[in-house]
A and B are shown apart, each in its own frame.
Chain A
Amino acid sequence: MSDHGHHVEQTVGPKIIAVSAVHPRVRTIQIERPEDEDTTFVAATAKGLGITIKHFAKNLFLPLRKLTTRAKTGAAVAEKRRNDIETVQYPEEKVVYPERFRGLHRLMLRDDGAVRCVACMCCPTVCPAHCITIVPEESDSKSIEKRPAIFEIDELRCVVCGLCVEACPCDAIRMDTGEHAHPVEDRANAIETKESMMARGIKSIAKQGGEGPNWQSTAKNPQR
């Protein structure tokens, strides 16, 4: 109550003990702290046990949430009647990775099946982990100067940053395979060779070499 005789309307909220005579919004309020009332933790313990028992019972007795996709007789179960378990059982179930997931490297191919890489050395230069080794050699093609004789990536050193893909000027290296680095028993086996990365490669739709149309002439907004 006010110490100057004002009657204070008690509404919902903290209990007002006193109101300042200078300004009615300066008030002394009493804060109720529920934790002060229960120093024996009995109510909180009972409540917590109730929550965990509820989860335990639900997860123990109700069918798995992903039952419809896993069951052989795919009888649908209402979402409410399923449990809360979020676990993905990895070898049997796999989550769909996002589109830009960076997986194992691959080397893209030209129309004739040769490697697109022109051994420009951009990727080993930008690689922060120094895991790319390229030994260039002279190319057979007249419009393309070089090609890699050796192209190796040490997947144990790779930090999967994707800078090699960013740096590549001719869409030769990509990390969009969606594969994880394979488990190996010997460190030497963790090195991806040109052949193994080309085996995962596909033909790129990008044009390569000096013979194709200029992108500036075919672009939709030529004023830039």
Chain B
Amino acid sequence: MPSIWEILDWPGTKWLFLAFGLVMPLASLLTWAERRQSAMMQDRLGPNRANIGPIKLKGILHFIADAVKMIFKEDFIPGNVHKGLFALAPVLALAPVLIAFAIIPFGPTIYPHEFFHHLDPIQVAQFHQHIPMDGEVGNYTDSIRLQIFSIDFGLIFYFAILTLANYGGTIAGWASYNKWALLGGLRSSSQMMSYEVAMGLSLMGAFLLTGALEPGAIVEHGASATFQLDHAMSGSNPLNWLWLWQPLGLVLFVTAAIAETKRAPFDIPEGEPEIIGYFVEYSGIRWGMFFLAEFIEIVFISAVIVTVFFGGWQVPFLDADGFRFGGELQQVGSMMVPTGGMIAPLPHWLVVLMQFGAFGLKVVLLCWFQLMVRWTLPRFRADQLMNLGWKLLLPLALGNVMVTALVRLISLYW
């Protein structure tokens, strides 16, 4: 019989919590936030009316009204469509983004038995190495790692899975028996192809600097593998975060990622107001799934940017046992134990809460930025898009990899 902590540590439990506790609500709220924010940017007020009795909440309840509307709307399937593929396409669009969340570390490791205590240095060292504490060096305790799968090829998994989401759009266009939907699907796949190369290459520099593909390791150590800024608290030093060492990679990745989410200024595949996109034949909840997938993708892209470039769940200078400035690592047994430099020791639960909240805050800020971009920039033409993807982003990404590799090589023999 597994204990409650073991059950909580199961990937399925964590996925349920992440998908239905964080991602779905955030994506649903984004459907409201996007309209409200765009209104605010255009000197309008936006939707502020949906209410349950006297509860108005500035219109946040609009997302419930939207969901109810989409569920109860007629699910119209035109004649001549390929019924199987037509039904499959929204699932193919939605499922990969939910699966890809498995690699994102959305919080630190929690030691439930130490929850209300202050961790001692040995436990902090175990925390850094993800060792479940045992009786020999600390109190026996379980640990819950707030990451669904910690796999060595981490972000490669993300590229592999998110490419599958592209099939959703293409198959939707193909199955709709509509030439405009088909053209939209083709535009979608051509855009994905021209941006995924640059997208993968723009993160390559980050992999080189951190020496890791695993997002958890990137969060915990930052660029310290190359620059050795501050070993005692490598991940929580904002100077170790990759926005400082990979600014070009950050810009390239953000650009490619917005193209990946198929939103303005790269919304050529769907083009809500003018162009007919690949889901023109969809209605009701099937269309809602495409819609939701798009917003979940925004959350996911934000989570990836936060994880790779902005230190993930790290709060600046917050170690597992409190705020720490300076300090160094000391060899105790087989472990490197951080010593000295502490200014504000904090209990474990407060640290966990702050780090979890920091991740959420960073993700929300980046979602805000993506909405800002979507409502600021006009749409690119198809040829401008291809030029940007192949002639600008790709060479820049390649150059970024070359320069980063050179810096890494020099740092190894410095």
Contact B372 A55 (CB under 8 A): no
A39-82 to B contact mask, C-beta < 8 Å, 1/0: 01000010011011101100110000000000000000000000
Q: List residues of chain B with CB within 8 A of the CB of A51.
A: 376
Contact B44 A87 (CB under 8 A): yes
B367 → A minimal CB distance (Å):
14
Number of interface residues of B (CB under 8 A): 15
Q: List residues of chain B with CB within 8 A of the CB of A85.
A: 40, 43-45
Most buried by A among B39, B44, B376, B392: B376
Q: List residues of chain A with CB within 8 A of the CB of B37.
A: 56
Please measure, in the bound complex, the distance between the C-alpha atom of A53 and the C-alpha atom of B369, giving whole angstroms: 10
B156 → A minimal CB distance (Å):
29
Q: List residues of chain B with CB within 8 A of the CB of A87.
A: 39, 44-45
B49 and chain A: residue at smallest CB distance: A89
B38-56 to A contact mask, C-beta < 8 Å, 1/0: 0111111100000000000
- CB < 8 Å: which of B372, B377, B392 contacts A56? B372
Q: Is residue B402 within 8 Å, beta carbon to beta carbon, of the partner chain?
A: no
Q: Is residue A185 within 8 Å, beta carbon to beta carbon, of the partner chain?
A: no
Q: List residues of chain A with CB within 8 A of the CB of B376.
A: 45, 48-49, 51-52
Please measure, in the bound complex, the distance between the C-alpha atom of A161 and the C-alpha atom of B43, giving whole angstroms: 33
Q: Is residue A171 within 8 Å, beta carbon to beta carbon, of the partner chain?
A: no
Please measure, in the bound complex, the distance between the C-alpha atom of A122 and the C-alpha atom of B43, giving whole angstroms: 47
B30 → A minimal CB distance (Å):
16
Q: List residues of chain A with CB within 8 A of the CB of B373.
A: 49
Q: Is residue B375 within 8 Å, beta carbon to beta carbon, of the partner chain?
A: yes
Q: In residues 352-403 of chain B, which contact A (Cβ within 8 Å)? A: 372-373, 375-377, 388, 392
Contact A55 B45 (CB under 8 A): no
List 29 A–B pairs whose Cβ atoms lie within 8 Å, in order of A's numbering.
A40-B388, A45-B376, A45-B377, A48-B376, A48-B377, A49-B372, A49-B373, A49-B376, A51-B376, A52-B41, A52-B376, A55-B40, A55-B42, A55-B43, A56-B37, A56-B41, A56-B372, A59-B41, A59-B43, A60-B40, A83-B43, A84-B43, A85-B40, A85-B43, A85-B44, A86-B43, A87-B39, A87-B44, A89-B45
Given A56-B41, A59-B41: 11 more A-B contacts, CB < 8 Å: A40-B392, A45-B377, A48-B376, A48-B377, A55-B43, A59-B43, A60-B40, A83-B43, A86-B43, A86-B44, A89-B45
B residues with a Cβ closer than 8 A to A are 37, 39-45, 372-373, 375-377, 388, 392
